[in-house]
Amino acid sequence: MHQAPAPSKAARRQHDREILSLAVPAFGALVAEPLFLMADSAIVGHLGTPQLAGLAIASTLLSTAVSVFVFLAYATTAAVARRVGAGDLRSAIRQGVDGIWLALLLGAAVVALTLPGAPWLVDVFGASDTAADYAVTYLRISSLGIPAMLMVLAATGVLRGLQDTRTPLYVAIAGFAVNGALNVGLVYGAGLGIAGSAWGTVIAQYGMAAAYLFVVVRGARRHGASLRPDAAGIRASAQAGAPLLIRTLSLRAVLMIATAVAARLGDVEVAAHQIVLSLWNLMAFALDAIAIAGQAIIGRYLGADDADGARQVCRRMVQWGVVSGVVLGLLLVLTRPLFIPLFTDDSAVRDALLPVLVVVALSQPVSGVVFVLDGVLMGAGDGPYLAWAMLLTLVVFAPAALLVPALGGGLTALWGAMTLMMTVRLATLWLRARSGRWIVTGATR
Q: Taking the alpha carbons of 243, 83, 425, 154 in that order, is the dihedral positive or negative? A: negative
List b or e across 174-209, with b for residues whose CB sees 16 or more CB atoms inside 10 angstroms. Answer: ebbebbbebbbebbeeeebbbbbbbbbbbbbbbbbb
Cα–Cα distance between 34 and 67 in angstroms, integer? 12
pLDDT value at residue 108: 96
Residue 242 burial by Cβ neighbours in a 10 Å radius (0-12, 13-18, 19+): middle
Task: Report which secondary-structure segment, H or E, holds 198.
Answer: helix 194-223
Q: Which residue has the higher pLDDT, 263 or 154?
A: 154
Q: Mean pLDDT score of the chain, rounded to an integer?
A: 90
pLDDT value at residue 185: 94
Size (the chain), residues? 445
Composition of the chain by helix, strand, coil, percent to 5: 85, 0, 15
**How many Å separate Cα 105 from the centre of its chain?**
21
Q: pTM surpassing 0.85? A: yes
Mean pLDDT of 97-123: 94
Mean pLDDT of 39-60: 81
pLDDT value at residue 437: 95
Spatial contact of 261 and 405, defined as CB atoms under 8 Å apart: yes
pLDDT band at residue 3, thresholds of 50, 70 and 90? low
Residue 116 burial by Cβ neighbours in a 10 Å radius (0-12, 13-18, 19+): exposed
pLDDT band at residue 369, thresholds of 50, 70 and 90? very high
Q: Which residue has the higher pLDDT, 279 or 94?
A: 94
Q: Report the phi/psi class of residue 391: left, alpha or beta, with left for phi > 0 and alpha for psi in -120 to 50.
A: alpha
Mean pLDDT of 357-367: 95
**CA dist 108 → 145, 213, 299, 328 (Å):** 10, 17, 30, 39
